[in-house]
Amino acid sequence: MAEERGGGQQQSQEMMEVDRRVESEESGDEEGKKQSSGLVADLSEHSLKDGEEPGDEDPEEGQELPVDMETINLDKDAEDVDLNHYRIGKIEGFEVLKKVKTLCLRQNLIKCIENLEELQSLRELDLYDNQIKKIENLEALTELEILDISFNLLRNIEGIDKLTRLKKLFLVNNKINKIENISNLRQLQMLELGSNRIRAIENIDTLTNLESLFLGKNKITKLQNLDALTNLTVLSMQSNRLTKIEGLQNLVNLRELYLSHNGIEVIEGLENNNKLTMLDVASNRIKKIENISHLTELQEFWMNDNLLESWSDLDELKGAKNLETVYLERNPLQKDPQYRRKIMLALPTVRQIDATFVSRVDTRQPPAGWGALPSPGLVSPTQYLPAVPMLVLGVGTQMGS
């Protein structure tokens, strides 16, 4: 199962109030401007000491200071350079790395992408969790295949149109509001744009080699412009503003579909998605399991936190002979004292119900003529699973994955 990553693509699901959080950020912009103008006025009253330059002031308590790159010894023959959390403030001195293929600069204090022109053998560049506001100065890195600038301060997708060999692009948790300037990236196989401010799926028609698309935790209101992505196997649209399942008719190779935390009321529009092995419609407004009896390859079905009341709806899943996991907790039917027992009788192949595995006691069948077995025994104490399904948002990456 494609669980996000360091994920990337892998973590417990949170019940997130996306709209309020993101919108409060935006509504705070204007207030921030007012506060900033006040700060400027306050600072102007405190003149610098004689001989002191701007920026020479004593750092605030607890503030990290950038390290001097001259104190870091770089092996000029290294192919894999990992400088994770070195407090690097500026990219410089890397021109000696003539053979480098992987450069990891995660969790530093970098504000600008620069001085990488000489690294023409570079295949992977990881700038996750820095302070970068703009994608720039990457044109010379034509061999680059993996680029991660997640958890930064980006507002636009730009400066990467020359990176035509790029296969994986991670821009998770920035402030991007539009998908743009990636039409030349025709070799792209994975695109992660989760936790941004994107309102529409657009400008991806040329990405015909795309296999995984992560757009969770944005502001998208409609599933659209996906027709060209016939090789797509994973689509994550969790925590958006969707009200309808649509626009998926050409995604005949889709195997994993994540639609939790939206406003969907009906399961529909999956007629051509026969290869689905994972369907996540948790935390929506769905009252009925329907229109999925043809999904015979389904292995996992997540529909917790909805409005399901009728046990007969489970008949829709009987054709899925490999179904192993179902999440149905926090639906009205969970109030039934025989909740687990009825699921097991209706879906005998299931090995996990909600957060717990089905135990041997659970799976025993009563002898002919007997009534129902006593309440199930305890599950194995060695099983500690998350209380809710995992959330696939694309909240970071692991280099080389």
Q: Is the dihedral of CA 152, 155, 161, 165 positive or negative?
A: positive
Section 10-21 average pLDDT:
40
pLDDT (0 to 100) of residue 332? 98
Residues forming a β-bridge with 202: none
Q: Give the integer Cα–Cα distance in Å for 185 and 194.
A: 19
pLDDT (0 to 100) of residue 287? 98
Section 137-141 average pLDDT:
97
Domain at 324, CATH number: 3.80.10.10
Whether 385 is covered by a domain: the verdict is no
Question: Structure pTM?
Answer: 0.77
Whether 330 is covered by a domain: the verdict is yes
Section 2-9 average pLDDT:
41
pLDDT (0 to 100) of residue 246? 98
Q: b or e along 82-94 (b: 16 or more beta carbons within 10 Å of the residue's beta carbon)?
A: ebeebebbbbeeb
Q: Which of 212, 234, 258 is the last residue of a domain?
A: 212
Same domain, 262 and 205: no
Round the average pLDDT of the chain to a whole number and report it.
82
Backbone φ and ψ of 18, nearest 5°: -65, -50
> Exposed, middle or buried by CB within 10 Å (0-12, 13-18, 19+), for 240?
buried
Relative to beta strand 356-357, strand 256-258 is: unpaired
Same domain, 303 and 207: no
Q: DSSP strand E in 317-401: where? A: 325-327, 352-353, 356-357
Same domain, 153 and 266: no
Share of the chain above pLDDT 90, in %: 71
Matching residue, tokens 């696939």: 392
Same domain, 235 and 361: yes
pLDDT (0 to 100) of residue 11? 40
Same domain, 176 and 295: no
Same domain, 322 and 351: yes
Q: Which of 191, 212, 233 is the last residue of a domain?
A: 212
pLDDT (0 to 100) of residue 63? 66
Q: Which of 148, 182, 212 is the last residue of a domain?
A: 212
Whether 293 is covered by a domain: the verdict is yes
How many other C-beta atoms lie within 10 A of the C-beta of residue 229?
Answer: 24
pLDDT score of 361 more than 50:
yes
Whether 182 is covered by a domain: the verdict is yes
Same domain, 329 and 282: yes
Structure tokens at 120: 């023409």
Same domain, 197 and 232: no
Q: Are 259 and 238 in contact (CB under 8 A)?
A: yes
pLDDT (0 to 100) of residue 123? 98
Same domain, 230 and 364: yes
How many other C-beta atoms lie within 10 A of the C-beta of residue 305?
Answer: 22
Whether 230 is covered by a domain: the verdict is yes
8-state DSSP, 337: T
Q: DSSP strand E in 37-122: where? A: 80-82, 102-104
Q: Give the integer Cα–Cα distance in Å for 374 and 369.
A: 15
pLDDT in tens, 21-76: 444 444 444 444 434 333 333 333 333 444 343 443 444 555 677 877 777 889 99
Give me Rg for the CA atoms of the chain. 25
Same domain, 80 and 186: yes
Cα three-residue angle 177-132-186, rounded to 5 degrees = 60
Same domain, 200 and 178: yes
Matching residue, tokens 């305890």: 378
Total domains in the chain come to: 2
- The least confident of 29-33, 157-161, 292-296, 353-357 is 29-33
pLDDT (0 to 100) of residue 391? 52
Q: Give the integer Cα–Cα distance in Å for 44 and 290.
A: 65
Same domain, 188 and 239: no
Whether 363 is covered by a domain: the verdict is yes
pLDDT score of 397 more than 80:
no
pLDDT score of 136 more than 80:
yes
Phi/psi class of residue 364: alpha, beta or left (left: φ > 0; alpha: ψ in -120 to 50)? beta
Helices (H) and strands (E) in the chain, counts: 3, 14
Whether 350 is covered by a domain: the verdict is yes
pLDDT in tens, 231-240: 999 999 999 9
Q: Give the integer Cα–Cα distance in Å for 367 and 386.
A: 34
Full residue range of the structural domain in which residue 160 is found: 76-212
Whether 4 is covered by a domain: the verdict is no
pLDDT in tens, 289-314: 999 999 999 999 999 999 999 999 99
- The least confident of 1-10, 87-96, 203-212, 361-370 is 1-10
**Residue 26 identity (one-letter amino acid):** E
